[in-house]
Amino acid sequence: MGLEKPVAGYATVQTWRKGLVEQWGEEPADFDRRAAMLEGFCDLAGRDPDGMIEDCTREVEGGKRIRIKARREYSEKIAEFQKTAGGDARSQGRAGNIVRSFFIHNGIFMQAGLND
Amino acid sequence: MEFKEVVGRRRSIRFFDPEKPVEREKIQVILETARLASCAVNAHWLRAIVVERDKLPPEKLNQLKTPVAALTLDLAPVHIYFFCDLGIVNKIKGSRLRELVDVGALAPSHGWSHKFVDDFVYPQILEPMTKNLQGYMAAAMADAGGAAHNALLAAFDEGLGACLNTPNPALTSQVLGAPADWVSLWVMLVGYPSESWEAGGQRPRPPFEELYFDGEYGKPFPRDPAVVERLKAAKMIQEPAPLPGRRDEIRRLSEQYGLPE
């Protein structure tokens, strides 16, 4: 599945970038590489970045709620994704964490274990 | 460590050295401290199941992990699962309260007698209270929470780091085999911090005057600056977060453990 536009053009990817800048006080130097990694994950998930965040949230009176089931499914997909990423276990973990970072900075709290 | 400094140094530690084990005696100190907490009607609702991460079969550890609580379970070598034993009041039927009369903790000077405890307190107050689950839960949980906080402070006094997390209650009870009338409360993660003990500084708190009142609601309890200075000298009130270098510390730890940015 290809994205309909460049990955950086999605609102949630911009939110991610902004979140990284706010967290670390500087532009992430390798953001393009991270965005490309996310694009790879989008291929696996068959969804674009905005669609994935939309899947994980729902509007309720007074704000948004996280959809627990969708978050669990994406969490499992990330684990699957990192297994297919190249390199050693650490590089694979890094690939998974790049995708987790995207979800986290879009408000989807998630954690993985040290070796997951 | 002096009491005030223990209070001042306590903050939720989330980066633990996963390889550094916690001494059994320190775990016992934590539990002993919980046992001595103030407790309504001497019932003692708090229960704990201590889990040493590396002694737990991996499949059980994995069962306890959720997408929102996985990392901390891997980092902390000791997990103390706290429960609230809702069945205790109807098991002991006021007998521990009677003990307080026996030992002179409760006395006629304050209206207490064996007769009052036997004839009134359990049958008229405590047993009916357990039937109003909402009110009973609030009372029992508040009590258990106080004891858990004693335990938390003890961990810091022992030079450890700790953090209270909310586990998945159903999973916790199932995996650890807790009795049906135990309600899962918190898991206290314990270990040696891999972040600095300051952990970025003392956490922000709401203004004192917004929380505490003098005589009536709406009249703030005045905060005496001289007392604040005394507490600073005693290391209870410490440098507020964020301390310089916190960002770098988090980045270093994230890199060390391979965590998301």
What are the tens digits of pLDDT across the range A64-105? 899 999 999 999 999 999 999 888 888 999 999 999 999 999
Nearest to A111 among B62, B69, B247 (CB): B69
Q: Distance (Å, rounded) from C-alpha B69 to C-alpha B63? A: 11
How many residue contacts between A and B have a Cβ separation below 8 Å? Answer: 49
Q: What sign has the CA pseudo-torsion B144, B145, B146, B152?
A: positive
A114–B72 CB contact, under 8 Å = no
Q: Distance (Å, rounded) from C-alpha B27 to C-alpha B21? A: 11
Q: What is the pLDDT of residues A28-61, one digit of tens each?
A: 989 999 999 999 999 999 999 999 999 999 988 8
Any residues with CB less than 8 A from the CB of B32 and at least 6 apart, and which?
Answer: B154
pTM: 0.91
- Take residue A37 and report the two structure tokens written for it: 């990694």
Mean pLDDT of A3-32: 94
Contact status, residue A38 vs residue A99, Cβ threshold 8 Å: yes
Q: What is the pLDDT of residues B66-118, one digit of tens each?
A: 888 899 999 999 999 999 999 999 999 989 999 999 999 999 899 898 889 88
Nearest to A113 among B65, B260, B261 (CB): B65
In terms of pLDDT, which residue wins out, A85 or B46? B46
Among chain B residues, the shortest Cα distance to A95 is held by: B260
Contact status, residue A112 vs residue A75, Cβ threshold 8 Å: yes
- The share of chain B scoring above pLDDT 70, in percent, equals 100
B67–A75 CB contact, under 8 Å = yes
CA distance between the termini of chain B: 35
- At residue A114 the predicted structure's pLDDT band, cuts being 50, 70 and 90, is confident
B258–A111 CB contact, under 8 Å = no
Q: Distance (Å, rounded) from C-alpha B76 to C-alpha B67? A: 17
- Residue B58, sorted as left (phi over 0), alpha (psi -120 to 50) or beta, turns out to be alpha
At B33 the pLDDT is 98
Quickly list DSSP for chain A: ---SS-GGGSHHHHHHHHHHHHHHSS--TTHHHHHHHHHHHHHHHTS-HHHHHHHHEEEETTEEEE-HHHHHHHHHHHHHHHHHSSSSHHHHHHHHHHHHHHHHHTT------TT-
Q: What is the pLDDT of residues B153-183, one digit of tens each?
A: 999 999 999 999 999 999 999 999 999 999 9
Q: Distance (Å, rounded) from C-alpha B261 to C-alpha B254? A: 7
C-alpha separations of B255 from B15, B192, B258 in Å: 12, 19, 5
At A110 the pLDDT is 92
A101–B260 CB contact, under 8 Å = yes
Q: Distance (Å, rounded) from C-alpha B145 to C-alpha B234? A: 26
Among chain A residues, the shortest Cα distance to B15 is held by: A114
All residues of chain A having their beta carbon less than 8 Å from the beta carbon of residue B255 are none
Mean pLDDT of B224-251: 97
Cα-to-chain-centroid distance, residue A22: 17
Nearest chain A Cα distance for residue B6, angstroms:
30
B67–A110 CB contact, under 8 Å = yes
Residue A20 forms contact with B (CB below 8 Å): yes
Among chain B residues, the shortest Cα distance to A97 is held by: B260
Q: Hey, where are the domains in chain B?
A: 3-194
Nearest to B89 by CA among B122, B132, B114: B122
Contact status, residue A56 vs residue A47, Cβ threshold 8 Å: no
Is the CATH number of domain B3-194 3.40.109.10? yes
A97–B261 CB contact, under 8 Å = yes
Among chain B residues, the shortest Cα distance to A22 is held by: B247
Q: Distance (Å, rounded) from C-alpha B97 to C-alpha B70? A: 41
Contact status, residue A97 vs residue B261, Cβ threshold 8 Å: yes
- For chain B, which residues lie within 8 Å of any Cβ of chain A, measuring from their own Cβ? 18, 62, 65, 67-75, 247, 251, 257-261
At B24 the pLDDT is 98
C-alpha separations of A38 from A13, B72, B86, B135, B250 in Å: 9, 25, 47, 49, 23
